C-alpha cells in the first residue's frame, strides 16, 4: 500500500536549519523490512529568495552510500542546488528534471542520484537512491530527519 508523503515545507525546513549545522539522517525502508540509512554532518535549506538552496556537508556515513554529496561526479552533487518543481526549473539539465522524473520537487542537479521525494508508484519512481536502488518497487518508506544542534 502506498502512502502519500508528508512534507512540512521548505519555509519550515529553512527556519529549523538556518544558522545551524544540523545533521541530516536519511532512511529508506525496503519491502523486506531492511532499513538503510545515510547520515550527513551538515544540512540546511536557504529561504525563498535563495530558491530553497540545499547546503549539505559531509562526510556522509551509513549503509545506503552517499548519493547526495560525494557521488563521484559533480553532476550528482546536490549541495548548492535550488529546489526544482514542475513550474520552477532550477536544475542544470536542458529539461525540467521534476517533470522528467514524475513531478516531485527536489534539489536536482543534472537530474539526480538521490530522489526520495519521487512519485510513490513503483512504475514511475526511477533511481530513488542510485546505484543500490534503481526503482521504487522495493521501498515502503523514506524519511529525512534533522537534529538541531
10-63: pLDDT as tens digits = 999 999 999 888 999 999 999 999 999 999 999 999 999 999 999 999 889 999
pLDDT for 3 equals 54
Coil, strand or helix at 14:
helix
Instruction: Give the integer Cα–Cα distance in Å for 26 and 33.
Output: 16
Residue 1: band (very low, low, confident or very high) from pLDDT cuts 50, 70, 90: very low
CA angle 132, 129, 45 (to 5 degrees): 150
Q: Cβ contacts of residue 126 below 8 Å, gap of 6+?
A: 101, 102, 115, 118, 134, 135, 136
Asked whether the beta carbons of 71 and 77 are under 8 A apart, the reply is yes
Query: pTM of the entire structure?
Result: 0.89
| Residues 56-112: tens digit of each pLDDT | 998 899 999 999 997 777 888 999 999 999 999 999 999 999 998 877 789 999 998
CATH class of 10-146: alpha beta
Write down the domain spans for the chain: 10-146
Q: Residue 100 has which C-alpha cell?
A: 522528467
Amino acid at each position: 500500500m502506498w502512502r502519500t508523503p508528508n512534507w512540512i515545507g521548505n519555509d519550515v525546513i529553512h527556519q529549523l536549519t538556518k544558522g545551524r549545522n544540523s545533521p541530516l539522517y536519511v532512511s529508506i525502508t525496503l519491502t523486506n523490512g531492511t532499513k538503510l540509512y545515510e547520515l550527513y554532518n551538515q544540512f540546511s535549506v536557504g529561504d525563498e529568495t535563495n530558491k530553497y538552496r540545499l547546503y549539505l556537508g559531509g562526510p556522509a556515513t551509513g549503509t545506503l552510500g552517499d548519493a547526495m554529496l560525494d557521488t563521484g561526479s559533480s553532476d550528482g552533487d546536490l549541495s548548492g542546488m535550488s529546489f526544482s518543481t514542475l513550474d520552477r526549473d532550477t536544475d542544470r539539465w536542458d529539461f525540467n528534471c521534476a517533470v522528467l522524473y514524475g513531478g516531485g520537487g527536489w534539489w536536482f542537479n543534472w537530474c539526480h542520484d538521490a530522489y526520495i521525494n519521487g512519485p510513490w508508484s513503483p512504475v514511475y519512481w526511477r533511481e530513488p537512491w542510485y546505484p543500490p536502488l534503481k526503482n521504487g518497487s522495493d521501498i515502503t518508506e523514506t524519511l529525512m530527519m534533522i537534529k538541531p544542534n
